[in-house]
Amino acid sequence: MQNDVEKTDTKEKVYYGLHQHGILVLNAATEDQIHELKREIPNIHLRQVTGTEGSSDKSDLQDNFLYKPYFLEKDLEKGKVITFPSLKNKNQAPFLPRQFVELIPFSSEKVPEILNHFSIDSNTKDAQTIKETNKFCEAPAKKAHKQKCATSLEAMVDFSIIMLGTNNVQAIATQVQGENQMLQKYTVKEVEQVADGVNMVCHKLNYAYAVHFCHGGGSTKTFMVSMIGVDGTKVKAVSICHKDTSLWNPKGLPFVVLKVKPGTTPICHFLQDDQIAFLPYEETL
């Protein structure tokens, strides 16, 4: 472990991931977010998405969306074909031991010290990312929404015990085998409900080491969804279906995409492979 710590002391980079749709439900959708889901794609990508050679027909992309990051529970059915992007987040930031990260400041007021610790130039993109992540983690929770940025695995587990009210917790994550395409069709092969009740979900943020934004999902159903992509990729994806969306922003991305209103129907989303769902563990006889 000592060698890992010594390596980390000299790290000069921030680790970046991809989509963060799962943590945007309390904010109004921006034009950039909507444009990202509707942007035009080259014919080579159209062949990957539609499965047709050289076709420019996008009629099967409903409402002109390339894909829908949110969907309804009724869409989780065997045989369903969906268009979806990579569930690999690409963020390779390592977990560091709690006793080590507790020695590193994590605060907007201490950003100069953080940059100095990781030898990051204050005029770089990495420095701006450090500032943004600290600011994001310090933002107050909205509407009784319980949340915490966990800077270690130990801190994440401790918060899950508080959130779920039990020492018996289990963690699950999406598994991806293969994958050569960023956007493609998947066929749902199996849907298994693994929990019904409270949970906690942790989303990996862009930072110099593993930092996760953890929050309570409220009343949810959790599913494991086995899918296979047109390129042969096998995915066993965690899907969280939120049964109560009444406190979500009515102008948020889920309602723009699905054209439904808050509190009227459960809304689901997949977790990428570096996001973690914590559930109460129930032993079966």
pLDDT confidence band for 25 (50 / 70 / 90) = low
pLDDT confidence band for 169 (50 / 70 / 90) = very high
* CA nearest to 165, candidates 285, 241, 279: 279
Q: Which residue has the higher pLDDT, 215 or 7?
A: 215
pLDDT of residue 207: 95
Place of tokens 């929990």: 195
Measured CA to CA, the distance from residue 240 to residue 217 in angstroms comes to 8
Measured CA to CA, the distance from residue 107 to residue 112 in angstroms comes to 10
Phi-psi region of 178 (alpha: psi -120 to 50; beta: other; left: phi over 0): left
CB crowding 85-105: b at 16 or more within 10 Å, else e: bbbbbebebebbebebbeebb
Give the amino acid at 54.
G
Q: How many CB atoms lie within 10 A of CB 122?
A: 13
Domain segments of the chain as ranges = 15-96+145-280
Q: Which residue has the higher pLDDT, 224 or 24?
A: 224
pLDDT confidence band for 19 (50 / 70 / 90) = low
Contact 86, 186 (CB under 8 A): no
Question: Structure pTM?
Answer: 0.81
Measured in residues, the chain has a length of 285
